[in-house]
Structure 1
Amino acid sequence: MKTVLTAVNARFVHSSLALRYLKQYNPEFDIRLAEFSLNDNIWHMLDSLEKEKAEVYGFSCYIWNMEPILKLAEMLKKAVPNTFVFLGGPEAGCRAEEILKSYPFIDGVMVGEGEQTLKELLGRFADGILPDALPMIPGLMHRRAAFEPRRELDLASVPLPYTEEDLPLLQGKIVYFETSRGCPFHCAYCLSAAEKTVRAFPMEYVKKGLSMLFLAGVPLVKLIDRTFNYDNSRAMEILRFILEESRNTCVHMELEPQILTPELTALLGSAPKDRFQAEIGIQSANEKTLQSVGRSCNLKKIAENIWNLRQYGNMHIHLDLIAGLPYEDYASFGRSFDFVYHLQPDMLQLGFLKVLPGTPVCHMDGIVAQGFPPYQVISTKWMDPDSMRKLREIEAAVEMFYNSGAFVKTVKQLVSEDDRPFSVFETLAGVLVQAEKKGKRKRRELYSILYEVYGESLREALSEDFIRYNQNVPLPAFVHPQREKGFKDKTYQLMKNDVFCRTYGIVPDLARLRFERMDGKAYMMDYASGKLWNITMELDAEIDRC
């Protein structure tokens, strides 16, 4: 009997950890994995699944893929009527009863952890029990028996989700791993609010799994622990192991800033550059807002600990904000934005509240959200729809002008002149909206548009940002590009000069170097190091020599 477990990932580079847990926990059964992305054609997905001719199909469901999975499952059931189709994952589990009532092509829904539930389900089928006679199985909701919840797994019984044979198939993808399940905090907008405890995988399991990933040369491992540093001593033991064993693998983790200890911060700071990435959820700087959703709030401590982490300059730091939380109006959100911006994150994610079924925020008054995935907030009694629209426009501006990293000097200058980052991004959002109305959506066009808006005061910053982040793209007119006769030959001569190359630490390779003259000044951009040099004196000396 063949079983196919299916994931529709948000992007091609993502991979499904859940499917691998289910497969490795049940080695006695013939289980195949099928992974797609939201960009895949639904007919392609159907054809891939149908030709497997499996007796059982399972789908891993999240807010980003529920809609296409329901469509795919319906088509599959019509193509292969005698198969057993079940759903699992957080989006299915919290809606299990509704799904079975609304979608007759779904035969069952796994609620909670599915490893043992799948073992019992496939075991019953292997014993010859037909789907129509399926008895009660803890953790599986179906139409033939009453539902009984399943107790949480003993994590010591869970095998590693990856094998040495599996890892080469994940080349080019982000690999996920977890060292614990659950969360010590109970934020009202999170599914973890219902969880009572944190369960840790045995340390031997954690080290063995990470070692396997490091030996395989996986470039990025994302730890999906909801709060990696919930236990300081345990976190430090894992970090020390990573520092000892990893050579090229970067490890991404979610940290709670208020409980960051000086010892843990110093250990993170001792790592080689880009060995770690940290994602930190600030969510809001409004104390009443944070208290209303069950988050503790010590803004001074948050800022102090993040600055202590930043001072080492060796890791990417990603800070999150959530728009649409209780008691946060438009002006308050602007202050929250300014607070987070001034912490100088490498990435600032402006997200929107998702009112997930089964979370406490569902029962709060004054919040209006989509009634279907991803359940995003539409308005609140503190934030009207027009304000939400403005924030969505600002979100797009943050992605384009900040998170892209392509306007670093430009944005820094604008903020220094305004002193209110949120105000700057309100203006940039308006610029982006107008540009899109004119059909000018390409990033390289935005430099000229910003020059039209801000004029000469911003020209130098825009010019430097353009040449830094637009390799092989012709310079725009506002930078006053000029290449006198013989310019190219003289730059070749400079590259052959050993003293010049040693001075700037460059390799004479035009694939990584770019020479331009802008506003009468000569520049050399080294794309390998990310450094831009003013070489006017050297180039003019070379011209004089010739």
Structure 2
Amino acid sequence: MTRIVLGTLNARYIHTAFGLRYLYANMGDLQPDTRILEFGIQQRPIDIAEQLLQQQPLIIGLGVYIWNVAEISAIVAILKQVAPEIRVILGGPEVSHPPDLPDVANLADYIITGHGEISFPRLCGQILSGQAPEQKIVSGETVTLDALATPYPYYTDTDLKQRIVYVEASRGCPFKCEFCLSSLDTTAKPFALPDFLRQMDNLYQRGARNFKFIDRTFNLKVDNSVAILEFFLRKMTDDLYLHFEVIPDNLPDRLKQVIQQFPAGSLQFEVGVQSFDPVIQQRISRKQDNDKTQANLGWLRQHSNAHIHADLIAGLPGDTLEGFGRGFDRLVGLNPQEIQVGILKRLRGAPINRHNDSYRMRYDPNPPYSILSTGDISFADMQRINRFARYWDLIGNSGRFGATLPIILADQPFARFLQLSDALYAAGGSTWKIALKRLFELLYTGMTNTLQIPAATVKQALESDFARSGEKGRPEFLAVKEQPLAKRGMANKRQRLLNPA
């Protein structure tokens, strides 16, 4: 009998719900009565509600995040209409910071704030034994990491073959960057390394090859970082892929020596630059040595095969359009393979919210609560940055425009790409669902008419990129006008009559 269902909605099928597996691992005697059900945000809420109810549960626990809060709200509303007797328990970042709670909190029976590995099983036991607590909000209890059962045995074989395997070698973050919820942590605590590596070996032996570390500061404790990298280096295969989030200004020589040994395509570093402006960094309590950050990014590009995914945030308090552009230009100069132009989001509980009034920070009231305007960036300009970010993903980060992108960014990268972005939107009217061939056509027009790049130069670069894309057909600007076969045949016949051999 499934008395307890653990569920959530992932943004994509390839993702796995790490938090649900942690809860399941720590259910104790209730684990045989518990089942995990994962869904995608593309599925209809009514269909998800139906699948949840098919289990005939007494308790449903749902993980609520910034990307699924709207869908979770719709699901809970349906559940409470057709099965009000089922106890609905919510957990996750979106409901962990009362009184700043989404509307769905009003429909839930209970809310667990913070970590739930201990508090969720206890609450379920109380409910099932008829001793449900009166208070609706339960503060999640934290325990030492060695007291937690690990989630890794509960990845299925399908997970290991088809999806991302999330792992954590440490929990927490010692830094206080105000835009991040990890700033509320007191410090970072590592899991016991020998046991962690045994768990990783078990996953590897079962077939896992795609590991995404969710540690906020993977390279904080260099001894552990080196040991983990060396562990995977000994198991290197063509399909092994590792993702780490690293501190950009902490890359000692011991770590560099190991990084250099990884082949291309096996290592990705997510580098949170966020801002190069020292005034803004101080304002949001971010400690970052910009010179070391620049030197380390340069070293990674020149002396390693690591794929660099560098993050930059638009809309931070006090930043301007021009200031963000200067940071973008500096990052472009360091040549990471990807630049993620992130738009600031209002995370519930994040300390950055203290600046809302003084810097006139205005956020979309609908998830994912993106910044709409600030005292220094107008709504119109923030919309331009949003479109810039989308077109940058399509053109700058896609890897499809290796010959074309350097021409666009030849001088003043931010100003030129923003100008191009404005032109692309004016011509196409959308940043979504743009067919690849259509994108090439829009680029040709925007680069020649708006950026005033010679047509021959643009055509040569786009033709080279299009040939590598594997796309069928040809964009209009590359199409060669030829006579129909019948007319060509008659023309050839007349030519032979006029000029017999």
Once the two structures are superposed, the pairs formed by residues 263-342 of structure 1 within 5 Å of their partners are: 263-342=254-333
> Secondary structure of 2:89's partner?
strand
8 A Cα contact 1:475 1:481, kept in partner: no
- Are 1:179 and 2:178 matched, yes or no? no
Match of 2:16 in 1: 15
User: Distance between the aligned counterparts of 1:191 and 1:346, measured in 2?
Assistant: 27
Tell me which of 378, 385, 402 is aligned to 1:384.
378
Q: Flag the 1:297–1:42 CA change in 2: closer, same or farther, 3 A.
A: same
> Secondary structure of 1:171's partner?
helix
Match of 1:423 in 2: 415
> Secondary structure of 2:216's partner?
coil
Quote the offset at 1:148 in angstroms. Answer: 6.5
User: Distance between the aligned counterparts of 2:89 and 2:303, measured in 1?
Assistant: 48
- Deviation track 1:217-257 (CA, whole Å, cap 9, x = no partner) reads 22321100011111111111111111113433211010011
- Are 1:115 and 2:106 matched, yes or no? no
Normalised by the length of structure 1, the TM-score is 0.81
Match of 2:490 in 1: none
User: Distance between the aligned counterparts of 1:161 and 1:148, measured in 2?
Assistant: 23
User: Distance between the aligned counterparts of 1:73 and 1:437, measured in 2?
Assistant: 36
Q: Flag the 1:352–1:201 CA change in 2: closer, same or farther, 3 A.
A: same
User: Distance between the aligned counterparts of 2:331 and 2:149, measured in 1?
Assistant: 40
Match of 2:77 in 1: 74
User: Distance between the aligned counterparts of 1:120 and 1:283, measured in 2?
Assistant: 39
8 A Cα contact 1:467 1:475, kept in partner: no
- Are 1:443 and 2:436 matched, yes or no? yes
Match of 1:350 in 2: 341
Given residue 76 of structure 1, which amino acid in structure 2 is its aligned partner?
A: L
Q: Flag the 1:57–1:164 CA change in 2: closer, same or farther, 3 A.
A: closer
Quote the offset at 1:199 in angstroms. Answer: 1.5
User: Distance between the aligned counterparts of 2:424 and 2:51, measured in 1?
Assistant: 40
Tell me which of 195, 199, 204 is aligned to 1:214.
204
Quote the offset at 1:281 in angstroms. Answer: 0.8
Once the two structures are superposed, the pairs formed by residues 140-539 of structure 1 within 5 Å of their partners are: 144-145=134-135, 149-163=139-153, 166-247=156-237, 248-364=239-355, 365-366=358-359, 367-416=361-410, 419-437=411-429, 441-453=434-446, 454=448, 455-469=455-469, 471-479=470-478
User: Distance between the aligned counterparts of 1:46 and 1:92, measured in 2?
Assistant: 20
Match of 1:40 in 2: 43
8 A Cα contact 1:396 1:429, kept in partner: no
Q: Flag the 1:208–1:414 CA change in 2: closer, same or farther, 3 A.
A: same
8 A Cα contact 2:384 2:422, kept in partner: no
- Are 1:134 and 2:132 matched, yes or no? yes
Q: Flag the 1:344–1:34 CA change in 2: closer, same or farther, 3 A.
A: same
Quote the offset at 1:98 in angstroms. Answer: 4.2
User: Distance between the aligned counterparts of 1:429 and 1:243, measured in 2?
Assistant: 41
Once the two structures are superposed, the pairs formed by residues 64-103 of structure 1 within 5 Å of their partners are: 64-95=67-98, 98=101, 103=105
State the percentage of identical aligned residues. Answer: 30
Given residue 217 of structure 2, which amino acid in structure 1 is its aligned partner?
A: T
> Secondary structure of 2:183's partner?
helix
- Deviation track 1:342-376 (CA, whole Å, cap 9, x = no partner) reads 11111111111112221211111221213443222
8 A Cα contact 2:62 2:90, kept in partner: yes
In structure 2, the gaps of 5 or more residues are 449-454, 483-501
Quote the offset at 1:17 in angstroms. Answer: 0.3
Quote the offset at 1:5 in angstroms. Answer: 0.5
User: Distance between the aligned counterparts of 2:167 and 2:235, measured in 1?
Assistant: 16
User: Distance between the aligned counterparts of 1:160 and 1:167, measured in 2?
Assistant: 17
User: Distance between the aligned counterparts of 1:307 and 1:352, measured in 2?
Assistant: 25
**Greater relative CO (CA pairs within 8 A, separation 6+):** 2
User: Distance between the aligned counterparts of 1:166 and 1:193, measured in 2?
Assistant: 33
8 A Cα contact 1:26 1:119, kept in partner: yes
In structure 1, the gaps of 5 or more residues are 136-143, 484-546
> Secondary structure of 1:403's partner?
coil
Q: Flag the 1:17–1:83 CA change in 2: closer, same or farther, 3 A.
A: same
**RMSD in angstroms over aligned alpha carbons?**
2.3
Given residue 200 of structure 2, which amino acid in structure 1 is its aligned partner?
A: L
- Deviation track 1:373-420 (CA, whole Å, cap 9, x = no partner) reads 32221111111111101111211220111111111211112222xx11
Q: Flag the 1:442–1:9 CA change in 2: closer, same or farther, 3 A.
A: same
User: Distance between the aligned counterparts of 1:33 and 1:184, measured in 2?
Assistant: 32
User: Distance between the aligned counterparts of 2:140 and 2:458, measured in 1?
Assistant: 61
